Amino acid sequence: MLNIVLFGPPGSGKGTQASKIIEKYNLIHISTGDLLRSEVEAQTELGIQAQAIMDRGALVSDEIVIGMIRKKLEEHQDGPGFIFDGFPRTVEQARELRKALTDIDERVTVLISLTVPKDELVKRLVKRGAETGRSDDNPETIHKRIDVYNTQTLPVAYYYEKMHKHQPVEGVGSVNDIFKRIVEVIEHFS
Ligand code: AP5
Ligand code: MG
């Protein structure tokens, strides 16, 4: 299996690049943000709880997120692999992912970290907020999400660094150029 963690701050292009990677490698896309947004849309109990947290730019509890991931892994354990987008976001989630993959005799192949300067992130997200109305794409919540990334999520990169599985990729430029950089990394690690 090819199991890729696509990592980076809000607006770094994880979702955009994930769709291109899936097309080329046939992987199962697991975006915890998308899964949570479908719960919000369906107004499930979990969705109602999650909405308030997401609108403040904070993180939903590890327990909820890990439960969603385990379910997805079980459903697709005979496939070609996974792309994790926006997960793990805490070291606890990284440890739980390791356990869940070990349970199916698998491991993370590589964590690809998209690097984009903060002013570019804010610009992209403000633009998307205006175009799509995504409720956490307003200036106040965008800054909060970036702060949460720097304090709670960045340690995940060091967790994989220790296992020599952390690979930064420049996330500025055309979507296709960035994709080419990502493919080089995947080919190297797979
Ligand atoms: P999530 O949905 O994961 O959002 P995010 O990490 O904040 O990131 P985005 O989806 O906004 O950005 P992206 O990196 O995917 O970039 P995209 O390709 O869209 O999480 C939302 C919330 O859910 C969290 O705040 C949290 O509350 C909760 N949550 C989710 N996962 C969780 C977890 N594991 N644990 C706890 N809580 C969790 O691109 C952004 C924009 O830029 C787009 O408009 C795109 O068209 C544009 N763009 C992309 N590439 C380029 C480029 N090269 N040049 C110019 N523009 C570009
Ligand atoms: Mg996304």
| Residue 60 Cβ < 6 Å to ligand 1 | yes
The average pLDDT across 86-106 equals 97
Catalytic position from the list 128, 144, 165, 181 = 128
| pLDDT at residue number 45 | 95
Q: 156: CA distance to ligand 2 center in Å?
A: 17
Segment 45-65 shows an average pLDDT of 96
Catalytic residue flag (residue 56): no
Alpha carbons 104 and 160: distance in angstroms, whole number? 20
Quick check: CB of 52 below 6 Å from ligand 1?
Answer: no
Q: Give the pLDDT score at 161.
A: 98
The average pLDDT across 139-146 equals: 98
pLDDT on residue 19: 97
pLDDT in tens, 105-122: 999 999 999 999 999 999
Q: Is 54 in the pocket of ligand 1 (CB under 6 A)?
A: yes
pLDDT digits (tens, 9 = 90+) for 19-54: 999 999 999 999 999 999 999 999 999 999 999 999
Q: How far is the CA of 178 from the centre of ligand 2 (A)?
A: 16
Contact 141, 35 (CB under 8 A): no
Q: What is the mean pLDDT of the chain?
A: 97
Q: What average pLDDT score do residues 166-178 get? A: 98
Lookup: tokens for 155:
């340690």
